[in-house]
Chains A and B, each alone.
Chain A
């Protein structure tokens, strides 16, 4: 998985200028059910990976999310 592309996709979903690996997902003002759905859809369409709402609850940072998608893809 290309991390740069993944963070760019997150940036668009969260409507911010940049997302770093250590950023805490819940701290983004845009973090709500619509954002979670957009993340699930992005993981599915860009990486062919199914992420569940439970998965999302267990990750803290943007980096955790990137790792999860990366592992699922392999």
Chain B
């Protein structure tokens, strides 16, 4: 399905990564595979470093740190925004919503629409859609969209399918009204029948966490993980992305009335470098127009990789210039969503460490 929004813009963006850096070469010995094969995996997928939170660190810790940074530097006034959207799949608690926990910890005003959204790799686009919808209301002046996950805490260190690529991070995006003639185009699809490709089986009400769900098991691929852990069917996800994403982008371009070459940057969710290279080749997009180096530097932080790619690869350009960008997220749900819009100049755009 397609949406169009007018007269709104992203005005600023901050990405926060934990200071603790892990390296694939050190973690390799935890995997039940020959070292040569792990090195090959590193080379093909583009694994190297990734950032993981210290034990016990929660999404609200990253969120409070990032928002406080924005307040301290006057990038954002603490009473200047009327909605706080948090997109996460690793909430502090089942209830209350983590957005309310953040509101409470920072003592933010009561006239604040706090909303948690359970979404993953397409979570930046899903969060933006919700922000744009809220901005249709005159009483909403600015929306702060937080994408944050600490999924390393639910990933088995003995699972070579997932652990080397996972990264923890948070991003803070301010969305507000902009030039009236600005148009933002969106394409969105979901398919719950294929949801099994990306799951955490235990920990909800269907299968509560127990001693049994915490037990590591080999499901037949030499990787050890528990039912409490994230599990990803890499081949199924790969096929899904190659099959669905290129036609989605074609459809978005034609809906918006642009040609492929009219787009300055394709900023896509970054599962790993391999998948992005295959996507770029299939869509005939030059590598220079598609940032791909988030996973090797920070890891795949689900919904945070798009803002992180903007903050790490396009920061300088966006300080002074405007570009026509095509964003796309794809993953858990399954969900695939894309957005075409002008981006920049931004009031702020930074990537910082959380000590």
Contacts and interface: CB of A to CB of B under 8 A. Distances in A.
Contact of B234 (A33, A50, A52): A33
Given A30-B37, A34-B40, A34-B41, A44 B235 contact: no
B44 interface: yes
Interface stretch (B20-28, B237-245, B316-324, B329-337): B237-245
A14 B33 CA distance: 16
Interface in B222-242: 222, 233-236, 238-239, 242
A50 B221 CA distance: 22
Contact of B44 (A36, A38, A44, A53): A38
Interface string A43-70: 0110000101100100000000000000
A23 interface: no
A41 B274 CA distance: 9
A53 B278 contact: no
Contact of B233 (A34, A40, A41, A53): A53
Contacts of B234: 33, 37
Indicate the size class of the contact surface on chain A.
10 to 19
B50 to A, nearest CB: 18
A37 B221 contact: no
B90 interface: no
Contacts of A38: 44
A56 B236 CA distance: 12
Interface in A3-40: 30, 32-34, 36-38, 40
Of residues B161, B221, B238, which shows the largest number of chain A Cβ atoms within 10 Å of its Cβ? B238
Interface in B272-306: 274, 278, 281-282
A40 B41 contact: no
B282 A36 contact: no
Contacts of A41: 238, 242, 274, 278
B37 A37 contact: no
B278 A45 contact: yes
A53 B282 contact: no
B40 A44 contact: no
Given A41-B274, A44-B278, A45-B282, A34 B235 contact: no
Given A38-B44, A45-B278, A50-B243, A32 B37 contact: yes
B221 A33 contact: yes
Contacts of A32: 33, 37, 222
Interface of A: 30, 32-34, 36-38, 40-41, 44-45, 50, 52-53, 56
Interface of B: 33, 37, 40-41, 44, 161, 221-222, 233-236, 238-239, 242-243, 274, 278, 281-282
11 contacts: A32-B37, A33-B221, A33-B234, A34-B44, A37-B238, A40-B239, A41-B238, A41-B242, A44-B278, A45-B278, A45-B282
Given A33-B221, A34-B41, A53-B236, 15 more contacts: A32-B33, A33-B234, A33-B235, A37-B235, A37-B274, A40-B238, A40-B239, A41-B238, A41-B278, A44-B278, A44-B282, A50-B239, A52-B239, A53-B233, A56-B235
